[in-house]
């Protein structure tokens, strides 16, 4: 590309654009470590000296809103994404390698569900769950997460499988390996970038999901951290310090998750595309 003699211009513009973009996030970060009364007075100032008061307050709430929410969120997210990855990898593989009419119809039906907003079918979902006694339970929420997000997993895996040479499977099959073993031992490891993308994206989406846990888990079964934030904004909206602290703590796990797997984030989505 054009390596111009204005070598300083690009980093300067990039830094400026990035900083403007980051400003709202800075607002939260700075105020998490600031005493409540300073937030109203000077919301944009640096927290000097920083205080952990807001964080401690959230962690030691008498109703354990954060801790209970954290356990629920981890449980729901972990179970959902592991099941989702396994099922959608198998299904995506099957549909990508199968050209029969049934499989083609199934792929279209699944991809049509890719963009369905959960809000428009949540009411009948509660009816279906209630009839099976799964309403207001973690199991029910996991079932809904899995069923609802399957199209995304299938979409990613089916696309990725097509970039993998079939010869490898042939060779394994000639050795007499069963279909499941061929899949799990030979194919699945090759799908690693796609698995990473699916795990990460669905992990983030399910962790951040608001409507499904709000309605399916119900009040009796505790909340997830994301629903907890929604609850806290009614209660303390004027107290930005503690709302921001709760938001910060609730987002910390996904942020760490993201930083740890940053490299894999879009690889599975894009790997096939750039190869193609």
Partner 1 sequence: MTATRTHPPAATAPPLEPPAARPPHRRAGRRVGGVGTFTLFGLPSLVLYGYVVLVPIGISVYHSLTNRNPFRPPTRWVGLDNYQKLLVDPGFWKVLTNTIVITVVVTIAANAIGLAVALLLDRRGWLYNLLRGVFFTPVVLSGVVVSVIWQAVLTDDGLLNSTLRGLGVERPPGWLSDPDLALYTLCWIMTWQMIGFCVVVYLAALQGVPADLYEAAAVDGAGPVEKFRHITWPLLAPALTINTVMLLISTFKVYDHVQVITNGGPGDGTTSTIAFDVIQTGLIGNRVGHASAVAVVMLVFVAVVATIVLRLLQRREVTS
Partner 2 sequence: MMDRRRLLAAGGVVTALALLGACTAGGDNGAKGGNGEVELSFLTFETPNLNAAYWDAAIARASAKVPGVKIKKLVAPSADRTSYVKQLDTSGQMPDIMAAISVSGFAQSDKLATFTPTELNEFVWPYVNTIGGEIYQLPYNTQTIPMVYYNKDQFAKAGITAPPKTYAEFLDVCEKLKAAGTNPIVLGGGGKDTWADMYPLTATVATEVYKGNPEWLADRVAGRKTFAGDPGFVKAVQKVVDLAKKGYIDPVGLSRSYADTEKAFREGKGAMYPMGSWFPASADSDKPGFEIGVFAWPTDDGSLVVPAYTGGGLSVSAKAPDVELAKKWALAFQTDKSNLDAIVKGDGAIIALKNYQPPTEMGPVYKATLAIYDEAVRQNAVTTAFSQENGDASLPPGLADKAALGVQDLITGKKTAVEFAEFLDAEWAKTK
| Residue 203: half-sphere exposure toward Cβ, Cα within 13 Å | 20
CB of 142 to partner 2, least distance (A): 9
Closest of 5, 33, 154 to residue 86, by C-alpha: 154
Closest of 66, 59, 58, 38 to residue 50, by C-alpha: 38
CB of 117 to partner 2, least distance (A): 17
| Residues at the site binding partner 2, with contacts judged by CB under 8 A | 40, 61-65, 67-69, 71-72, 74-75, 78-79, 82-83, 123, 126, 130, 135-136, 138, 185, 188-189, 192, 214-223, 227, 230-231, 233-239
Closest of 79, 59, 81 to residue 69, by C-alpha: 59
Pick what 48 binds: partner 2, partner 1, none; C-beta below 5 to 8 Å, kind-dependent: none
> What tokens does 207 get?
């962790």
Q: Contacting partner 1 (CB under 8 A), which of 71, 74, 79, 111?
A: 111
**Residue 91 Cα to chain centre, angstroms:** 20
Pick what 10 binds: partner 1, partner 2, none; C-beta below 5 to 8 Å, kind-dependent: partner 1
DSSP for 140-195, please give it.
HHHHHHHHHHHHHHHHHHHHHHTTS-THHHHHHHHTT--HHHIIIIIIHHHTHHHH
- Angle at the Cα of 134 from the Cα atoms of 133 and 135, rounded to 5 degrees: 100
Q: Contacting partner 1 (CB under 8 A), which of 45, 46, 112, 260?
A: 112
47 binds partner 1 (CB under 8 A): no
The answer to whether 65 touches 232, Cβ cutoff 8 Å, is yes
267 binds partner 1 (CB under 8 A): yes
Q: Contacting partner 1 (CB under 8 A), which of 183, 188, 191, 213?
A: 183
Stretch that binds partner 1, among 50-58, 59-67, 74-82, 117-125 (CB under 8 A): 117-125
Say how many residues make up the chain: 276
Pick what 117 binds: partner 2, partner 1, none; C-beta below 5 to 8 Å, kind-dependent: partner 1
106 binds partner 1 (CB under 8 A): yes
Which residue, 77 or 107, has its beta carbon nearer to partner 2?
77
51 binds partner 1 (CB under 8 A): no
CB of 6 to partner 1, least distance (A): 13
Q: Say how far apart CA 114 and CA 122 lie, in whole Å.
A: 15
272 binds partner 1 (CB under 8 A): yes
Pick what 236 binds: partner 1, partner 2, none; C-beta below 5 to 8 Å, kind-dependent: partner 2
Q: Taking CB under 8 A as the criterion, which residues in 55-84 touch partner 1?
A: none
Q: Say how far apart CA 226 and CA 210 lie, in whole Å.
A: 6
């Amino acid at each position: 590309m054009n390596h111009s003699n204005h070598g300083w211009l690009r980093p300067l513009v990039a830094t400026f654009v990035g900083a403007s973009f980051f400003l709202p996030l800075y607002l939260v970060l700075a105020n998490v470590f600031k005493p409540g009364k300073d937030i109203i007075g000077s919301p944009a100032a640096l927290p000097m000296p920083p205080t952990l008061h807001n964080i401690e307050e959230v962690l030691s709430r008498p109703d354990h809103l954060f801790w209970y929410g954290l356990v629920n969120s981890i449980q729901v997210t972990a179970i959902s994404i592991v099941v989702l990855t396994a099922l959608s990898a198998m299904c995506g593989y099957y549909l990508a390698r199968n050209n029969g009419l049934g499989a083609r119809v199934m792929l279209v039906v699944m991809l049509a569900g890719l963009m369905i907003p959960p809000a428009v079918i949540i009411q009948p979902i509660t009816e279906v769950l209630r009839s099976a006694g799964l309403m207001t339970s973690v199991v029910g929420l996991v079932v809904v997460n899995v069923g609802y997000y399957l199209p995304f997993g299938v979409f990613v895996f089916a696309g990725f499988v097509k970039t993998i040479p079939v010869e490898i499977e042939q060779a394994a099959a000639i050795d007499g390996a069963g279909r499941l073993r061929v899949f799990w031992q030979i194919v699945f490891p090759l799908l690693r970038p796609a698995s990473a993308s699916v795990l990460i994206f669905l992990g983030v989406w399910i962790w951040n999901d608001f409507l499904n846990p709000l309605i399916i888990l119900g009040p009796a079964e505790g909340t997830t951290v994301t629903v907890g934030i929604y609850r806290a904004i009614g209660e303390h909206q004027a107290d930005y310090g503690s709302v921001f602290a709760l938001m910060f703590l609730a987002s910390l796990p996904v942020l760490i998750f993201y930083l740890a797997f940053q490299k894999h984030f879009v690889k599975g989505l894009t790997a096939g595309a750039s190869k193609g």
